[in-house]
Structure 1
Amino acid sequence: MQSQIAPYTNWSSEQFIARISDLESQLKSQNIQEAPPQAEQRRRRKPNQFDPSRYNTRFIALKLAYLGRHLNGYEAPGDTIPPAPTVEEELWKALMKTRLIFPRIKRKGRKTRDIYWEGCDYSKCGRTDKGVSSFGQVIGIRVRSNKPLPKTSQPQNNTASKTSDMDAAEASERTVEGIADPVDVEEEETPFDPIKDEIPYIHLLNQLLPPEIRILAWCPSPPPGFSARFSCRERRYKYFFTQPAYLPIPGAQGSRAGENGGSWLDIDKMKEAASYFLGNHDFRNFAKMDATRQLTNFERVIFHTDIEEIASLDDPAFLSAEAVSGSAGSDGNSSPKPKVYAFVVHGSAFLYNQVRHMAAILFLVGQGLEKPTIVKELLDVRKNPRRPNYEIASDSPLVLWDCVFPGENSEKREDALDWVYPDDPSNVAKAKTSAHGGKWGLNGLVDVMWSTWRSRKIDEVHAAQLMQVTAMRGRGLAPPSEEGRKSSQKRSIKVFDGGNVTKPRGVYTPVMKLELLETPDVINAKWAAKKGITPLELPREGPLGDSDE
């Protein structure tokens, strides 16, 4: 061997190739000999099949919040794949992964991404649209419970052996419907505290939900017959906007509040217009028609409206300068100050996009483009049965603030559900939610919200500082030149719609002179004719109790 490999310098190319091939063959045979037998390889254990029949269930209500800017609304779509996740989809995935729900699959051929709630007693209070947020959405749902099943003697029919051959859907159907083999109870049930001994629902779900969706509280004992949709007697919305509505130009025409379609809004006139919404009215001219629902009743009750001041805008500072805010406010005495406001409205129920239509009209009033009485004109459906085709307000500033469930015979509009929050004394002391983060602990409810808020607050500060620095450079807040002033006066009016970008709209056309849409009766009849459905075959609308924002 030594004599064969020593004289490498004298080897030919054929000898080198032959030697390399020989070594590769030796290495391959050595690897095969050292490999463990196939039988000795560790087998992967199959996960234990989850048996829903071994668990108790209970009906509860959940209160949740979500920031909707990057979500595709609350409701999960049917057959289409949304461009962004929905709240309902994320909630369903978290409930399924934690094995808190046992839905029954009734229809064959379901797709794996389908969401189905059969057997869960599921209901939702509002169906918020894409981009809309909520701080008080409520759902009712039947979930798994820690409460043990009654201890029993051996039954005549062995339930355990049956459920082992039963798939999860069939087993859950037995549990939910209370179908069980006859058994003899041996002893009394172990005492069970419905809060202290229960599954920490809030923490369990928040661990799996994305940061922009949070479970705020749960109700252990909703009243009999509770429906998050139909038991709700009041829904409260807030539509947030800034004052000024869009960037004001120093010395530009329309610098007074509510003048010439300018950026500074007349808050007092907006309050007056909002007050005309109060009471029971037909809101067909403040809603988007959805022919698939075949609605014929557009009356809704509004309990409360206001334009509420939220906070002052201290940054960027140049917005407070007189050159930008104008010489006087709407009252002629004081300049308007940069602030954040909210249009607040409480009602029994709302039509599709109703709040956003209401906000759009209020913004026109605030800009001085319409009088406050435009609200009265649009509410007079005998005189104006067809809605003018005005533009709806933007979606993301809108928040479903709260959903109210009064007592059955209560005349007060106050929530009567017994909500359990993470820092509830009984919840913290007994259920030990502090160990799970609770409200203030690490990865607790507020801790996660702080992270979300701070990241967006820093972005806001950066944007405000950049705008402040840019505005003060060059000639600062000096009015534009004469040529620039004439050019700005020729520009078309900007109509504020609540969004971030306000585009010129040309010469403003008053609302009552816009193109009129067809009446709801005509829209419904055309849809029914297209589907080949006669009015007698159409499902009639249920009792009022929905929110389609």
Structure 2
Amino acid sequence: MDRVFDALEKSKLIENRNECNFSVCGRTDRGVSGLCQVVSLVSRSLIARGVGVIEDSGSRISERQDVPDKEMDYVSALNRNLPRDIRVLAWSPISPDFSARFTCCKRSYEYYFPESGLDTKSMMDAGNRLVGVHDFRNFCTSRIEKDTVTFIREIFEVVISDVDSCDHHCKLCRISISASGFLYHQIRYVMSVLFMVGRGYESPSVIDDMLDLSKTPAKPHYHLAADFPLLFIAGTYPESCLNWETSEGMWIVASLYNKISSCSTRFGQTLSEIVVRIRNPVEILYFSLNDFYPNCFQISYCQKNVELC
């Protein structure tokens, strides 16, 4: 997010990155990418009142006689100061109590992997045992942050499917996982256990045993699955929270498509699946080639009036 903060500061949209109430929906590991990231922050505004505006917050707002009734073009302002491989597509005014992280009611991830003789039916059996409200302390890195007070999370769905765009030489699969939230490294540890099940080294019932703390009071040792095949797909919010606005959507989507299509990548099959996704201009907000996977984010914010210099 450093380059995003740099663009916000260069655009004079924030005064200080430490005081803009910044929040992000999917806090991914290094190497993990995202197709629909959402961030929220307090930003400068041109208008004096409206949804999300902190009224009378500008230093000399009361002295201005020419306060416009239309908001600035945040999309253009940010994209002018971002590298060519990073683009913002939309923004939304929000209420002061909105948080990209805590207002989110569902997060969805996908993990791509070659079938390579794996027993995907057994993996699906094991994955279904994760669905529901459980204590997932045996599926995460034990790093408790000040705002992490419980290991209990609710997983809504686990689905394994084929990637349609694959050729016949290497069948590619993806596992889609959605939940209320995830613990640190949770999905990567889940994938590590599922791979053990798929290879026949573990039974699907290992999931039940790991969720039962009376049977497994200490976390078993499993290697952490690779980060780069993991993709943050989207965060889901209450319908009334966001009203996205944009100005350059079609040009941005076209530029992203050309950027990805021109890349020679060792993950071509996975990339071709992602290219199909970005043809929908509503889904893509932020792009950065990160180990040949695209990132994207939507930006929402609470406006703050500040006199323009």
TM above 0.5, one fold? Answer: yes
Task: Give, in whole Å, the separation in 1 of the partners of 2:76 and 2:110.
Answer: 28
Partner of 1:453: 260
**Aligned residue number for residue 359 of structure 1:** 191
- Deviation string 1:521-546 (CA, Å, 9 cap, x unpaired) is xxxxxxxxxxxxxxxxxxxxxxxxxx
1:382 pairs with 214, 217, 224, which one? Answer: 214
Partner SS, residue 280 of structure 1: strand
Superposition deviation, residue 239 in structure 1: 0.9
Cross-structure match for 1:417: 242
Q: Do 2:46 and 2:68's aligned partners in 1 also have CA atoms closer than 8 Å?
A: no
Is residue 106 of structure 2 the alignment partner of residue 234 of structure 1?
A: yes
Q: Indicate yes or no: 2:46 matched with 1:146.
A: yes
Q: Compared with structure 1, are the counterparts of its residues 363 and 211 closer, same or farther at alpha carbon in structure 2 (3 Å cutoff)?
A: farther
- For 2:126 and 2:62, the matched residues in 1 are separated by 67
Give the 3-state SS of the residue equivalent to 1:208 in structure 2.
Answer: coil
What's the CA shift for 1:209? 2.2
Shift of 1:292: 5.8
Aligned-residue offset at 1:362: 1.0
The match for 1:219 is 92
Report deviation, 1:190.
6.2
Partner Cα distance (1:184, 1:216) in 2: 33
Q: Which residue number in structure 1 is paired with residue 288 of structure 2?
A: none
Which structure 2 residues correspond to residues 481-520 of structure 1 after superposition, within 5 A? Answer: none
- Is structure 2 residue 23 aligned with structure 1 residue 89? no
Unaligned runs of 5+ in 2: 269-290, 292-309
1:41-440 → structure 2 map (5 Å cutoff): 88-103=1-16, 116-118=17-19, 120-147=20-47, 178=57, 192=69, 197-220=70-93, 222-244=94-116, 264-290=117-143, 293=146, 297-314=150-167, 319=169, 338-406=170-238, 416-420=241-245, 422=246, 433=247, 438-440=248-250
Change (3 A) 1:269 1:354: same
SS of the residue 1:225 aligns to: coil
Give the letter for the 2:81 counterpart.
L
Q: Evaluate the alpha carbon distance shift between residue 285 and residue 211 of structure 1 in structure 2; reply closer, same or farther with a 3 A threshold.
A: farther
Shift of residue 457 of structure 1?
Answer: 4.6
Q: What is the Cα-based RMSD across aligned positions, in Å? A: 2.9
- Which residue identity is paired with 1:214? R
For the residue of structure 2 that corresponds to 1:306, the secondary structure is: strand
Name the CA distance, whole Å, in 2 between partners of 1:375 and 1:102: 48
1:456 alignment partner, SS class = coil
How far, CA to CA, are the matches of 1:383 and 1:144 in structure 2?
A: 54
Q: CA deviation at 1:365?
A: 1.2
Q: Deviations over 1:345-381 (max 9, x none)?
A: 1111111100111111111111222111111111111
Q: How far apart, in 2, do the equivalents of 1:294 and 1:402 lie?
A: 22
Matched residue type, 2:141:
K
Instruction: Give the Cα separation in 2 of the matches to 1:373 and 1:460.
Output: 32
Q: How many residues align?
A: 265
The structure-2 alpha-carbon separation of the partners of 1:266 and 1:387, relative to structure 1 and needing over 3 Å to count, comes to: same
| Alpha-carbon offset, residue 304 of structure 1 | 1.2
Unpaired stretches in structure 1, ≥5 consecutive residues: 1-87, 104-115, 150-174, 245-263, 320-337, 409-415, 423-432, 462-498, 500-549
- Cα distance in 2, alignment partners of residues 225 and 283 from structure 1: 29
CA contact (8 A) 1:211 1:449 kept: no
Cα offsets for 1:292-332 (capped at 9, x unmatched)? 65955211111111112222422xx6x3xxxxxxxxxxxxx
Distance 1:139 1:272, change over 3 A: same
Q: Determine if contact 2:114/2:172 at 8 Å carries over to the other structure.
A: yes
C-alpha distance in 2 between matches for 1:448 and 1:217: 15
Q: Quote the offset at 1:143 in angstroms.
A: 1.7
The structure that is strand-richer by fraction is 2
Specify the code of the residue in structure 1 equivalent to 2:14: I
Q: Aligned pair in 2 of structure 1 residues 399, 184: CA closer, same or farther (>3 Å)?
A: closer
2:47–2:68 CA contact under 8 A, matched in 1:
no
What TM-score do the two structures reach when normalised by structure 2?
0.76
Taking only the aligned residue pairs, the percentage that are identical comes to: 34
